């Protein structure tokens, strides 16, 4: 089951689109912040009981939000929790939080170097996206469609 964070319309639509493509259920976690790096409230919308939950978010900095969300999913009955992030910034207490959290794995791309983070946290796994970026640059340079990459991933 995919679980989207920050249920603002563009991200909500992205998570539902991915869930539809994968033919899996989805849930949402709506959060409100009072100020940066501080979550005021977090509400789970959807049933995750007895399911594997995969949190999907664009980035994580101090990881307070994704750890709080993972705890919420386990409280609601999720059997395992994974996180998939585009950008793993991982500043301040992030690595310690991930190490102590209930995640099976936290998967990030290499848009930010991850070697040190992976050394300090065995839960972090990294996906190389350099080929995707190179293909996007090539397509742009040659006047070809970049949207083609949304459904045709080069490897």
The answer to the question of residue 142 being in a domain is no
| Of 88 and 17, the one with more pLDDT | 88
Per-residue pLDDT of 99-121, as tens digits, reads: 999 999 999 999 999 999 999 99
Q: Does residue 12 carry a pLDDT above 70? A: no
The answer to the question of residue 102 being in a domain is yes
List the CATH number of the domain containing 48.
Answer: 3.40.50.2020
Question: What residue numbers bound the domain in which 7 lies?
Answer: 2-128
Residue 34 half-sphere exposure, CB side, CA atoms within 13 Å? 4
Of all residues in the chain, what percent are helix, strand and coil, respectively (each to 5)? 35, 35, 30
In the structure encoding, which two tokens stand for residue 99, read together?
Answer: 């190490």
Per-residue pLDDT of 25-53, as tens digits, reads: 999 998 876 776 666 688 999 999 999 99
Chain-centre distance for alpha carbon 87: 8
Q: Does residue 24 carry a pLDDT above 70? A: yes
Chain-centre distance for alpha carbon 28: 13
What pLDDT band is residue 11 in, cutting at 50, 70 and 90? Answer: low
How far is residue 3's CA from residue 17's CA, in Å, rounded to a whole number?
12
If one counts the domains in the chain, the total is 1
The answer to the question of residue 93 being in a domain is yes
Q: Can you tell me the mean pLDDT for 56-77? A: 96
The answer to the question of residue 52 being in a domain is yes
Q: Does residue 7 carry a pLDDT above 60? A: no
The answer to the question of residue 39 being in a domain is yes
The answer to the question of residue 117 being in a domain is yes
- Average pLDDT value for the chain: 91
The answer to the question of residue 146 being in a domain is no
The answer to the question of residue 153 being in a domain is no
């Amino acid at each position: 089951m995919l679980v989207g964070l920050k249920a603002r319309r563009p991200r909500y639509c992205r998570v539902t689109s991915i869930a539809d493509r994968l033919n899996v259920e989805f849930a949402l976690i709506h959060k409100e912040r009072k100020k940066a790096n501080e979550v005021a409230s977090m509400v789970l919308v959807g049933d995750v009981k007895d399911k594997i939950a995969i949190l999907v978010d664009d980035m994580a900095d101090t990881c307070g939000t994704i750890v709080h969300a993972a705890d919420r999913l386990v409280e609601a009955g999720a059997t395992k929790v994974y996180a998939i992030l585009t950008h793993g910034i991982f500043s301040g207490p992030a690595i310690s939080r991930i190490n102590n959290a209930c995640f099976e794995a936290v998967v990030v791309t290499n848009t930010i170097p991850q070697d040190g983070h992976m050394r300090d946290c065995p839960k972090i796994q990294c996906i190389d996206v350099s080929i995707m970026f190179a293909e996007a640059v090539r397509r742009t340079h040659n006047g070809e469609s970049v949207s083609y990459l949304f459904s045709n991933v080069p490897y």
